[in-house]
């Protein structure tokens, strides 16, 4: 007889037995050996019908076509810009994909220089995980002003929330512009105090991402912080 051994939203470690018997199916980040299904990494259990999957609580960002990410220019070649995307892999933004205007080689640094960050989109991922980027679509641009914070990419869905509920809550309460890259970089622009509050809120969500009722907790957190924001930080020494 088949037996499921853990509950929905339980936290499991690699190798933990999730179910016995052939009635259940191994979903993402699980594997079957003999009659048992095991977890393949540290994460949260999710059960949909007969499929058991694990949502990772940590882990690297896996680049996907169509993802909007934030990257940093680390080099320039004859044809474009090399980006650091917080992956192990090289990412290229060809100059013809960087702007709808025609840009000559000598003008490349007017668009982007080494050290600049930009919101870009992944257009191609090869079998060796080499990444092609574009900056030509609306919503894609060089980043100026504000600050960028880094969180684990697995927590991005929690930062955004169901249909954007979490990110919109934060935006409304703080009045900041916020762009969340799927690779875990988040660009925040507003007043320095509000930017800092957004940064703290995001770190808090990252830490508690496995908990329930996070949106309500964030609402309370933001309300308390915004109240005291205009006051100068008290000198403790």
Partner 1 sequence: MIVNNETIAHLAKDNQRLDGRSLIEYRQPIKIETNISWTAEGSAKVQIGETVIMAGVKLSLEKPYNDTPDQGGIMINAELLPLSSPDYESGPPGIKAIELARVTDRGIREAKAIDMKKLCVTPGEKAWFVIVDIVTINDAGNLFDAASLAVLSALKAAKFPVVDPETGAINYKKKTEESLPLLKEPLAVTVYKINGSLLIDPTSEEEKSYDARLTVASDDNGTISAMQKGGDSPLSIDEVEKICDIALEKAKFLRKELNAALK
Partner 2 sequence: MVYTKRLDGRKIDELRPMEAKAGVIPNADGSAMFKAGKTTAYAAVYGPREMYPRFLQNPKIGVLRCHYGMMPFSGSGERIRPGNSRRAQEIAMVMTKALNNVVDLSAFPNAVVDVYVDLPQTDAGTRCAAISAASMALADAGIPMKDMISSVAVGQVDGTVVADLCYDEEAYDAIVSDVPVAMTHNSREITLLQMDGEISKDDLIKSLRMADSVLDKVYDLQKSALKERFSMDKGAEK
| Pairing verdict, β 3-4 and 185-189 | unpaired
Q: In a 10 Å sphere around its CB, with 0-12 CB exposed, 13-18 middle and 19+ buried, how is residue 170 labelled?
A: buried
Residues in Cβ contact with 47 at an 8 Å cutoff, skipping those fewer than 6 apart: 4, 8, 53
Residue 169 touches partner 1, criterion: CB under 8 A: no
Q: Can you give the binding site for partner 2, defined by CB under 8 A?
A: 11, 13-17, 29, 31, 38, 40-43, 56-60, 62, 87-90, 127-129, 152, 154, 204, 207-208, 210-211
Residue 115 touches partner 1, criterion: CB under 8 A: yes
Contact between 207 and 55 (Cβ < 8 Å): no
Residue 116 touches partner 1, criterion: CB under 8 A: yes
Contact between 182 and 61 (Cβ < 8 Å): yes
Residue 78 touches partner 1, criterion: CB under 8 A: no
- For residue 233, give both structure tokens: 């930080």
Site string for partner 1, 47-76 (x = CB under 8 A): -------------------------x----
Choose the contact partner of 211 out of partner 1, partner 2, none; CB within 5 to 8 A by kind: partner 2
Instruction: Number of residues interacting with partner 1: please give it, by CB under 8 A.
Output: 20
What residues form DSSP beta bridges with 188? 147, 178
Q: How far is the CB of 180 from partner 1 (least distance, A)?
A: 15
């Amino acid at each position: 007889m088949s037996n499921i051994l853990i509950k929905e939203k339980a936290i499991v470690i690699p190798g933990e037995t999730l179910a016995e018997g052939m009635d259940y199916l191994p979903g993402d980040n699980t594997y079957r050996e003999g009659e048992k299904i095991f977890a393949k990494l540290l994460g949260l259990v999710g059960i949909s019908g007969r499929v058991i999957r694990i949502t990772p609580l940590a882990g690297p960002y896996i680049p996907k076509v169509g993802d909007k990410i934030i990257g940093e220019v680390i080099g320039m070649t004859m044809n474009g810009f090399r980006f650091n995307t917080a992956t192990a892999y090289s990412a290229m933004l060809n100059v013809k994909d960087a702007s709808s205007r025609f840009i000559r080689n000598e003008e490349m640094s007017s668009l982007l220089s080494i050290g600049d960050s930009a919101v870009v989109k992944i257009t191609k991922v090869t079998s060796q995980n080499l990444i092609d980027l574009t900056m030509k679509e609306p919503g894609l641009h060089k980043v100026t002003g504000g600050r960028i914070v880094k969180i684990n990419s697995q927590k991005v869905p929690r930062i955004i929330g169901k249909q954007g509920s979490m990110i919109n809550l934060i935006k409304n309460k703080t009045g900041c512009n916020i762009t969340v890259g799927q690779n875990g970089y988040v660009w925040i622009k507003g007043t320095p105090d509000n930017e800092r509050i957004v940064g703290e809120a995001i770190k808090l969500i990252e830490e508690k991402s496995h908990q329930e009722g996070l949106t309500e907790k964030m609402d309370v957190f933001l309300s308390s912080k915004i109240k005291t924001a205009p006051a100068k930080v008290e000198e403790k020494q």
